[in-house]
Amino acid sequence: MNMQKMIGFDVYGTLVDPVDMGQHLQQLIGDKAQEFGQLWHDKKVEYAFRRGLMQQYEDFGVCTQQALQYCLSVFNVTLSNSEQQDLLAKFSQLKAFDDVIPGLALLRNQGHTLAAFSNGPEVAVRTLMQNSGVLPQLHDVISVDDLKTFKPNPAVYDYLMTRTQSDLNHCWMVSSNPWDVIGAKAAGLNTAWIQRDSKKIFDPWGIEPDITVGNLIELSEQLDSL
């Protein structure tokens, strides 16, 4: 039976690919572009975690910029201020995964309420969703910036329910990041893990997602049967 649900979607890694900066990163970094992109992504998430724990909040844009500085040092790459700003601006132009727009359309047609729910500032996320073509499929864009902390703080997931006037029975968190899924599940939400890489392992914390799928089209099929 298809019960209408409120579904919050992580953005970076779930709706859009945060590692693939395309030809631009290749031109600046060279043959280490993929490694650079992965480290940059991992480091900005780490910085957000650390700031959340330390209660030294700066928005995700600051975490991203500081992570870039770290990666430039690791790879011994020198970029001008203009090149760095140009590179940071590319985050507003990340591409949606191929399954995202059709998958969201299916979920929306099933009557579910859909929201992007991100560590990124709302204006930046909304711009990204617009540029990637995802925004028309969403009912809302919600940022943790409103609380001045980051996922996976339990207060953030409570805020998702409050903002959407939802409850634990009907609120779902969908993410490709195991730490996000575990955080939401620990806070009492229903969860779905998007395993975009078959080699990726879910953290063995004894907290499992309610659903594991490879993409959003599969998610729509699974949720339609619940």
Let me know whether 102 and 85 are in one domain. no
Let me know whether 130 and 53 are in one domain. no
CATH number for 32: 1.10.150.240
* Residue 1 belongs to some domain of the structure: no
CATH number for 164: 3.40.50.1000
Is 98 a residue of the active site?
no
So what's the pLDDT on residue 19?
A: 72
Instruction: Decide which of 39, 61, 93 is a domain's last residue.
Output: 93
Kindly tell me the burial class for residue 107, based on how many C-beta atoms sit within 10 Å of its own C-beta (0-12, 13-18, 19 or more): buried
Instruction: Spell out the per-residue pLDDT of the chain, length 226, in tens.
Output: 568 999 999 999 999 988 767 677 888 888 898 899 889 989 999 999 999 999 999 999 999 999 999 999 999 999 999 999 999 998 899 999 999 999 999 999 999 999 999 999 999 999 999 999 999 999 999 999 999 999 999 999 999 999 999 999 999 999 999 999 999 999 999 999 999 999 999 999 999 999 999 999 999 999 988 8
CA 32 distance to own-chain centroid = 24
* Residue range of the domain that includes 119: 6-17+95-224
CA-CA-CA-CA dihedral for 59, 65, 66, 69, to nearest 10: 180
Let me know whether 65 and 126 are in one domain. no
